[in-house]
């Protein structure tokens, strides 16, 4: 379920663009936002202010600066709790990325699973939510049970229920495809899995950028996200987890801060979330993430989603008129991602010509090789939009793709 939010007023993305220094000063067009979004000036300013006014190590010091830094860091945890509507701040674990968050859960399940146990995964997913489970397959003998999307990237919740057996220990699925750009029916998947006593991990890397997420309403057991796609800094991500799991899960990393007591023959780990955050954490990055969350909510998540849907509709309408181009995804669900390919031209060549025209897109399998095998293309081009993208940029992309195909034919 999406977290409800009042409808915001219509806004002009050209005004928003002035808040993003790289976008405002770029002579070209940046359409690789699904890989990493640009940062508003307030994110960098907040990190600089944190470094210049209240930087020290957190939780450890008895001095004033450490107290200020700790308040900022733990304030960031509380801010993200509010952003996700999580019941408690202790359910938010800071990591360096969504990938690390998912690996943290996989590490915990390594101590739970036995050979022959199963994890249900989706071929729609990013490698970040597939490779950690493959590691369990290689090292612990588990079995991966796969659920495939339809030709438009839609997942059927009942297919997940059908894939669950008495040996299933977890369902791991994306909340939004980084290729098709549409939400998966996560709430229904969670409900059906829970009816069979199976927990669910969701990769929210893309969804949390474009939609308001309510983890309490979703009832999901684990939710992973990253900061750099959410207009925040690199080097910080987070895992939301239900308290029952946090109590059962062993830590993935050992070191300072994550122990309550320690002796030569005994260790007692700190309570969550600290037992999962060994070592010095990303203090300045947490401050920057708060600025990004404040900025996104200040613009309005409903407003952003409405603008991006309009970009998606316009992009699909323009690309529908281009011969010899295949656009992937459901035309009835236009999202902020447009993935396309041509049987007559390699995606890398198309992207190279676009780059020469100053248009940044991504070419490749987008860390979704199982999905691309289903699509019948080893490589595709992906244009991904953000709150600062414009209709004029969509038109420029479509015109440039037409010119690239004419050159490559």
Q: Which residues are catalytic?
A: 367
Helices 98-110 and 131-140 pack at an angle, to 10 degrees, of: 20
- Where is 360: in which H helix or E strand? strand 359-360
* Contact indicator for 257, 196 with CB cutoff of 8 Å: no
Cα separation, 362 vs 241, whole angstroms:
32
Q: Which of 89, 7, 66, 35 is nearest to 304 (CA)?
A: 7
Task: Indicate the SS3 state at residue 186.
Answer: helix
**Phi/psi at 317 (nearest 5 deg)?**
-65, -40
Exposure string of 339-365, with b = 16+ CB inside 10 Å and e = fewer, is bbbbeebbbebbbebbeeeebbbbbbb
Is residue 46 left, alpha or beta, with left meaning phi > 0 and alpha meaning psi from -120 to 50?
A: alpha
How many whole angstroms separate alpha carbon 87 and alpha carbon 245?
14
> How many helices and strands (H and E) does the chain possess?
16, 15
109 in Cβ contact with 133 (< 8 Å)? no
Which residues lie across from 262 on neighbouring strands?
A: 267
Pairing outcome for strands 222-226 and 200-203: parallel
Rounded CA-CA distance 179/381 in Å is 10
Q: What is the DSSP string of 288-350?
A: HHHHHHHHHHHH-HHHHHHHHHHHHHHHHHHHHTSTT-EE-S-TTS--SEEEEEBTTB-HHHH
In sequence order, which ranges of 180-300 are alpha helices (DSSP H)?
186-195, 207-210, 215-218, 243-248, 283-299
């Amino acid at each position: 379920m999406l977290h409800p939010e009042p409808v915001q007023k219509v806004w002009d993305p050209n005004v928003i663009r002035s808040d993003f220094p790289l976008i405002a000063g770029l002579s070209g067009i940046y359409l690789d936002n699904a890989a990493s979004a640009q940062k508003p000036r307030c994110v960098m300013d907040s990190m600089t202010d944190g470094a210049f006014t209240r930087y020290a190590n957190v939780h450890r010091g008895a001095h004033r600066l450490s107290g200020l830094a700790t308040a900022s860091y733990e304030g960031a945890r509380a801010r993200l709790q509010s952003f996700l509507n999580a019941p408690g701040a202790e359910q938010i674990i800071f990591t360096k990325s969504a990938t690390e968050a998912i690996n943290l859960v996989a590490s915990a399940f390594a101590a739970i699973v036995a050979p022959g146990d199963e994890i249900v995964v989706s071929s729609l997913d990013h490698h970040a939510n597939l490779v950690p489970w493959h590691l369990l397959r290689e090292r612990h003998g588990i079995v991966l049970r796969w659920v495939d999307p339809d030709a438009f990237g839609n997942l059927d919740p009942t297919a997940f229920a059908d894939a669950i057996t008495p040996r299933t220990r977890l369902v791991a699925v994306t909340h939004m495809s980084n290729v098709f750009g549409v939400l998966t029916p996560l709430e229904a998947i969670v409900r059906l899995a829970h009816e069979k006593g199976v927990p669910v991990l969701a990769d929210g890397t893309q969804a949390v950028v474009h939609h308001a997420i309510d983890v309490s309403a979703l009832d999901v057991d684990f939710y992973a996200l990253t900061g750099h796609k959410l207009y925040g800094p690199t080097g910080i991500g987070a895992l939301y987890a239900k308290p029952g799991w946090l109590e059962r899960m062993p830590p993935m990393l050992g070191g300072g801060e994550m122990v309550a007591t320690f002796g030569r023959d005994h260790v007692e780990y700190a309570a969550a979330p600290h037992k999962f955050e060994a070592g010095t954490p990303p203090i300045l990055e947490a401050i920057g993430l708060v600025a990004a969350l404040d900025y996104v909510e200040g613009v309005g998540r409903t407003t952003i989603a409405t603008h991006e849907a309009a970009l998606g509709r316009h992009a699909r309408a323009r690309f529908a008129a281009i011969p010899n181009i295949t656009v992937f995804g459901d035309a009835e669900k236009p999202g902020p991602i447009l993935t396309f390919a041509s049987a007559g031209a390699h995606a890398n060549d198309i992207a190279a010509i676009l780059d020469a025209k100053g248009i940044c897109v991504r070419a490749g399998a987008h860390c979704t090789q199982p999905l691309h095998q289903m699509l019948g293309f080893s490589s595709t081009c992906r244009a991904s939009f953000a709150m600062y993208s414009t209709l004029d940029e969509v038109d420029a992309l479509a015109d440039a793709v037409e010119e690239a195909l004419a050159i490559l034919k």
